[in-house]
A and B are shown apart, each in its own frame.
Chain A
Amino acid sequence: MTEFAESRGHVGTNDGAARRARRHAAERRFRLYGILAIVVAVSFLVLLLGSIAVQGYTAFTATQIRLDVTFEPEVIDPEGTGDPELWAGADYGALIRHSLGARFPGVREPEEVRALMALISSGARFDLRDMVLDDPGLIGTTRSVWLPAAADIDMLVKGITPRDVPEDARRVKDNQIAWLDALVAEGAVKRALHLRFFTAGDSRTPERAGIWGAIVGSFYTMMVTLALAFPIGVLTAVYLEEFAPKNRWTDLVEININNLAAVPSIVFGLLGLAVFLNVYHLPRSAPVVGGMTLALMTLPTIIIATRSALAAVPPSLREAALAIGASPLQVVMHHTLPAAMPGVLTGTIIGMARALGETAPLLMIGMVAFIADIPGGPSDPATVLPVQVFLWAGSPERAFAEKTAAATLVLLVFLIAMNGLAVYLRKKFEKRW
């Protein structure tokens, strides 16, 4: 190598050596710029993901407080009817009040009692109710029960809100901190896995809010989007690429599809509002409408990806099939489309991933409403993951900031899973050839 270079060098005299040195330096510089660019990009990504993860991971655990709760028959079933229907309506808050009263006998003032009660999540009584309805045998017994702490207490225990600021700058007051510390001292406070975050719908109380409603809503929305956008998009692309005559009309259609891909997504939301809601009176806030709107947005992506995948199939494959008497439809179905499938699927999944992360058009069609129930079908009111993130990000409580980051993490996990699926499918379909 060097010998060759030297033998070339003396033919061109010193000039050649200098030029070679310059060229090598230029190449090294270029490689360096490339590596620098990658380092910058990767560090931004790490910073972004890292900050979300650091903010969000605490939402996967929650503080719980242990109380000795007596399931008093006088409270649960004051008239002694034994009717479970009536038990459901009983005042379970009283059980918590009595239990806390027994633990802190000195607290008498109504004001103070309210502050003491505020240690425990306001939703804890529903947990007690569910325990009783599940197991009526509890009535009349005393049990040691772990109840969810209120969000403010949770934040304090996790160290997210500070203790060492003046009392009036804190939501948790001095007396509450004292009670909490007493409970901590006797081991009645712990942090446990917060499963509720993954199984509950939205709630006004941060410690009861979960992401399952949004996941189900996103699922229905994506199903509607896929069911509409995939077949329509692929058929459109196949027609335009394989069958349509090349004339002014098809040129016009093509230009418009390319333009649609660049239209801001909120415009599709306006269209959905004007057409699906105002003209056809489809249900508001429903995944059907969200899915239809997102399908409009995803269509151009799928069409363009499918067309370029079809165009990349070598013409010799079509000719081979045509020449042994395959009809144009058979050529497409048996040869061109299967050969283009990896590209089609990649395009579809990328389009779907974009739709999954989309918020703006869904705001226009009312999927931004507060919905606590888990949607039971595509026409029930629902919200979706990114909108849930948006809603929580707008809530003033400190505890929702943690939920926001956690929901973003969940959304990212889904997006990464979809991209992984795209890679897997591409590999799998390519292997067949």
Chain B
Amino acid sequence: MEAQTALIGHNRPADATPVKMATRDLDVSYGAIQALAGVELDIRENEVTALIGPSGCGKTTFLRCLNRMNDTIEGCVVSGLVTLDGHDIYDRSLDVVQLRARIGMVFQKPNPFPKSIYDNAAYGPRIHGLAANRDELDEIVVTSLEKAGLWKEVRDRMGEPGTSLSGGQQQRLCIARAIAVSPEVILMDEPCSALDPIATARIEELIDELRENYTIVIVTHNMQQAARVSQRTAFFHLGQVVEMGDTVELFTNPQDERTQGYITGRFG
């Protein structure tokens, strides 16, 4: 606990950051299984929000509500309010394809397209018409790879398939692919769970850098990681948000005894 407290000292949130996304009274069920019940959560701009909680408590489900990826699951019913900049994203008139361009996602298992490294990063800008010509596209690709901290490693092998990279590199390529379309929010579902400690450290650094320009929501099973990278943390338990607050506060002084039990490793 000592080491942890020392680590998390540096990242207290600024007080009045505006709310980027919010959920109110969010219920999600898969057929008969109720996965989320009455979730109310604010996600603040240019902050990293960590979602923690025991397996099966609904973190992934919550994350996938934020960019409507749950739409693709047969039998998944979402009710309640989810807003982005104050607008309901489940509104009928909203175009879900555009929404997903504004809210990027990085998955638990790196899933680069089976195309070249270049095409992986260029795919998003291409389909959204973000580059007027080849030069602009090249520039977008290079900047996103730079931001993802991958450029130096792949600059000479842009034509090779993305799947030929190492796991950590693949995950950074997926991050580059997500930021290439200039999203406002990036959702990450256990992005480091398949990576070794060095690759994990690299991605954590990256998340910290990205915070400047993006709003980030990250699911993690690693308490230290949540403490290291996030400003706010929400603790999920059995489909509900038990506790939500300043990361330092939550880890040093949890209000709920379930939170306390989880972060000290008594259950989960």
Contacts and interface: CB of A to CB of B under 8 A. Distances in A.
A170 interface: no
Contacts of A334: 123, 127
Interface in A308-353: 314, 316-327, 330, 334-335, 339
A433 B99 CA distance: 29
Interface of A: 246, 314, 316-327, 330, 334-335, 339, 432-433
Contacts of A325: 97-101, 124, 127-128, 181
A377 to B, nearest CB: 42
Interface string B92-106: 000001111100110
A330 B97 CA distance: 11
A321 B113 contact: yes
Nearest to A326: B127
A327 B99 CA distance: 11
A330 B178 CA distance: 17
Nearest to A316: B111
A317 B111 contact: yes
Interface in B100-134: 100-101, 104-105, 107, 109, 111-115, 123-124, 127-128
Contacts of B177: 320, 324
14 contacts: A314-B111, A320-B113, A320-B174, A320-B177, A322-B100, A323-B105, A324-B105, A325-B124, A325-B128, A326-B97, A326-B123, A327-B97, A330-B127, A432-B114
A123 to B, nearest CB: 59
Nearest to A314: B111
Contacts of A321: 113, 123
A428 to B, nearest CB: 15
B72 interface: yes
Contacts of B163: 433
B69 A324 contact: no
Given A323-B178, A334-B123, A433 B161 contact: yes
B69 A323 contact: yes
B257 interface: no
A433 B114 contact: yes
Given A318-B72, A324-B124, A325-B97, 15 more contacts: A316-B107, A317-B114, A319-B107, A319-B111, A320-B107, A320-B113, A320-B174, A320-B177, A322-B69, A323-B105, A324-B181, A325-B101, A327-B127, A334-B123, A339-B114
A324 B109 CA distance: 16
Contacts of B233: none
A246 B174 CA distance: 31
Nearest to B174: A320
Contact of B72 (A320, A322, A330, A432): A322
A330 B107 CA distance: 20
B135 interface: no
A324 B111 contact: no
Given A246-B74, A334-B123, A433-B161, A323 B67 contact: yes
B114 A323 contact: no
A318 to B, nearest CB: 8
A185 B124 CA distance: 83
A212 B113 CA distance: 47
Nearest to B100: A325
A246 B178 CA distance: 31
Contacts of B174: 320
B113 to A, nearest CB: 6
A335 B104 contact: no
Shortest 9 CB-CB contacts between residues of A and residues of B: A325-B101, A433-B114, A323-B105, A316-B111, A325-B100, A324-B124, A320-B111, A327-B97, A325-B97
Nearest to B187: A323
Nearest to B67: A323
Scoring B97, B107, B128, B174 by chain A CB atoms within 10 A of each residue's CB, the highest score goes to B97
Interface in B12-57: none
Interface in B57-73: 67, 69, 72
B75 to A, nearest CB: 9
Contacts of A327: 97, 127
A131 to B, nearest CB: 61
A63 B181 CA distance: 75
Contacts of A316: 107, 109, 111
A324 B107 contact: no
Interface in B170-196: 174, 177-178, 180-181
A326 B115 CA distance: 16
Interface string B151-163: 0000000000101
Contact of B123 (A246, A314, A319, A324): A324
A324 B178 contact: yes
A203 B72 CA distance: 62
Contacts of B101: 324-325
A323 B70 CA distance: 11
A330 B67 CA distance: 18
A322 B113 CA distance: 12
Contacts of B128: 325
B98 to A, nearest CB: 7
A364 to B, nearest CB: 43
A324 B161 contact: no
B113 A323 contact: no
A78 B6 CA distance: 120
Nearest to B106: A323
Scoring A322, A325, A339 by chain B CB atoms within 10 A of each residue's CB, the highest score goes to A325
A319 B113 CA distance: 11
Contacts of B127: 324-327, 330, 334
B14 to A, nearest CB: 29
A316 B177 CA distance: 15
Interface in B79-97: 97
B100 A324 contact: yes
